[in-house]
Copies of this chain bind each other. A is one copy, B any other.
Amino acid sequence: MIYAARRFAEDGYDTTSVADIVEGLGVGKGVFYWYFSSKEELLGEILAEAQRRLRRRQADAIGTIDDPLLRLEAGIRATLSFFDEHRDFWRLVQVASHDRRFTAGLRAGQEVAVSDTARVIQDGMDAGVIPSGDASLAANAVLGVLNHVTRVYLQRDGGSVGDLADQVVAFCVGGVQAQPAVVSPAS
């Protein structure tokens, strides 16, 4: 599955054949169809699995932290380091997001991420550390920043997460703490 994910990320979904995958793995084609019922199902499971892993990573990072702003920060750092460690996954999402067969599943995962983030921000609003406003909008903005930053830095070789994460955290924490009118309505 890891090998297939890499191939899909590197060469695209349609361009990578089942024959390519099993040949690269040194196994027969039957093995593939013993474990997966179709090529489409394989990519679906890869995407779902990675989304689950990312979400668990975020949950672990947030752990027992109470302060909403620190929770947000921990989530952002966890997300960036996850993408840093699994660069293929980010590419895979880009590949799949332009294919009708996977947009639905991807959108569902995205919505979970938005509502997770929105919940943290809403907690901050309730606790008074974040000015009241549209938590969902702010969550979209944070995810938009993460997406863009990932594209730009992590997809080029040699990007380091360290300094990057500090800047992104500063930007996002500053963003959600700004007055609603100042928050850029990105997504």
Contacts and interface: CB of A to CB of B under 8 A. Distances in A.
Contact of A100 (B11, B148, B187): B11
B12 A152 contact: no
Interface string A1-23: 00000000001101100000000
Interface of A: 11-12, 14-15, 91, 94-95, 98-100, 144, 148-149, 152, 167, 184, 186-187
A100 B152 contact: no
Given A15-B100, A152-B186, 14 more contacts: A11-B100, A12-B14, A12-B98, A14-B14, A14-B15, A15-B99, A91-B98, A94-B94, A94-B98, A95-B98, A144-B148, A144-B152, A148-B148, A167-B184
Nearest to A91: B98
How many copies of the shown chain assemble into the complex? 2
Contacts of A152: 144, 186-187
Contacts of A95: 98
A143 to B, nearest CB: 10
Given A12-B14, A14-B14, A148 B186 contact: yes
A90 to B, nearest CB: 12
